[in-house]
């Protein structure tokens, strides 16, 4: 028993995921996305990070495991690598298993697509969502092509947010380019109720509500006729 718990603790520490015990409501896999979303370059050793090379195979494993009924995603991230974040978000959105996300603390920048990629999203009342334009680090060549590439990347983010939430792409871009909200940046910070009022997040709630919704989605999935399952 102690050995199993030690293995689970080690798995959670290294991979940020944990299979929750079956309690009559279906088997749920817990995934955490915290700190900085690490992409092709490793972040500082002192920085908490979610590594996409860990999450992508984990999500593939979840999709392929018939014993897993649903996925709960806990988020508290300041953002990070755009390509890695979008890759993870697309993987979550394409899962056939029911998914619910819960924003705790902050979910900024590329964290936005990660939060809305689930079938249903929650945010605690004190949580925040920050929408801001794409940034670039390192060398930047000051030519028109560079600007167009940045605009295309930004369009991919706003398009994903609009497709997986109840906000229009125009409204997202309006908030993204607001210069009156943030002291040192362009963009908008939405607190829990504001994020729901704008349609970015589905509901204000905590872990209890997230579990209740996920169990509801799992029950609905199980109640589908076999023919519907085959079509999916």
pTM: 0.83
The total of other beta-carbon atoms located within 10 Å of residue 115's CB is 29
Catalytic residue status for 109: yes
The total of other beta-carbon atoms located within 10 Å of residue 179's CB is 8
Q: From the candidates 109, 117, 121, 165, which is the catalytic residue?
A: 109
- The pLDDT of 200-216, averaged and rounded, is 97
Instruction: Name the residue with higher pLDDT: 117 or 185.
Output: 117
pLDDT digits (tens, 9 = 90+) for 146-199: 667 777 888 999 999 999 999 999 999 999 988 888 766 788 999 999 999 999
In terms of DSSP bridges, do strands 128-131 and 188-191 run parallel, antiparallel, or are they unpaired?
Answer: antiparallel
Report the chain's mean pLDDT, rounded to a whole number. 84
Q: From the candidates 17, 101, 117, 132, which is the catalytic residue?
A: 132
pLDDT score of 216 more than 50: yes
C-alpha span between 188 and 131 (Å, rounded): 5
Domains and CATH numbers, the chain: 2-18+25-37+47-220 (3.90.226.10)
DSSP-assigned states of every residue in 73-120? EEEEEEEE-HHHHHHHHHHHHT-SS-EEEEEEEEEETTHHHHHHTSSE
Catalytic residue status for 132: yes
- b/e code 66-86 from CB counts within 10 Å (16+ = b): eebbbbbbbbbbbbbbbebbb
């Amino acid at each position: 028993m102690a050995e199993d718990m030690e293995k689970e603790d080690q798995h959670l520490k290294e991979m940020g995921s944990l299979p929750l015990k079956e309690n009559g409501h279906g088997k749920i896999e817990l995934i955490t996305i915290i700190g900085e979303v690490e992409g092709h370059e490793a972040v500082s050793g002192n920085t908490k990070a979610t590594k996409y090379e860990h999450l992508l195979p984990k999500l593939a494993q979840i999709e392929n495991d018939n014993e897993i009924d649903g996925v709960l995603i806990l988020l508290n991230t300041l953002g990070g690598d755009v390509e890695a974040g979008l890759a993870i978000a697309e993987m979550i959105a394409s899962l056939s298993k029911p998914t619910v996300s819960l924003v705790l603390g902050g979910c900024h920048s590329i964290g936005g697509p990660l939060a809305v990629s689930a079938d249903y999203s929650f945010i605690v009342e004190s949580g925040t969502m920050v929408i801001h334009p794409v940034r670039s680090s390192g060398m930047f060549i000051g030519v028109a092509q560079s600007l167009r590439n940045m605009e295309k990347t930004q369009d991919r983010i706003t398009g994903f947010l609009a497709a997986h939430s109840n906000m229009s792409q125009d409204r997202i871009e309006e908030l993204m380019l607001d210069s009156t909200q943030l002291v040192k940046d362009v963009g908008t910070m939405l607190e829990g109720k504001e994020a729901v009022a704008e349609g970015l997040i589905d509901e204000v709630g905590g872990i209890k509500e997230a579990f209740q919704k996920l169990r509801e989605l799992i029950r609905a999935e199980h109640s589908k006729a076999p023919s519907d399952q085959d079509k999916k």
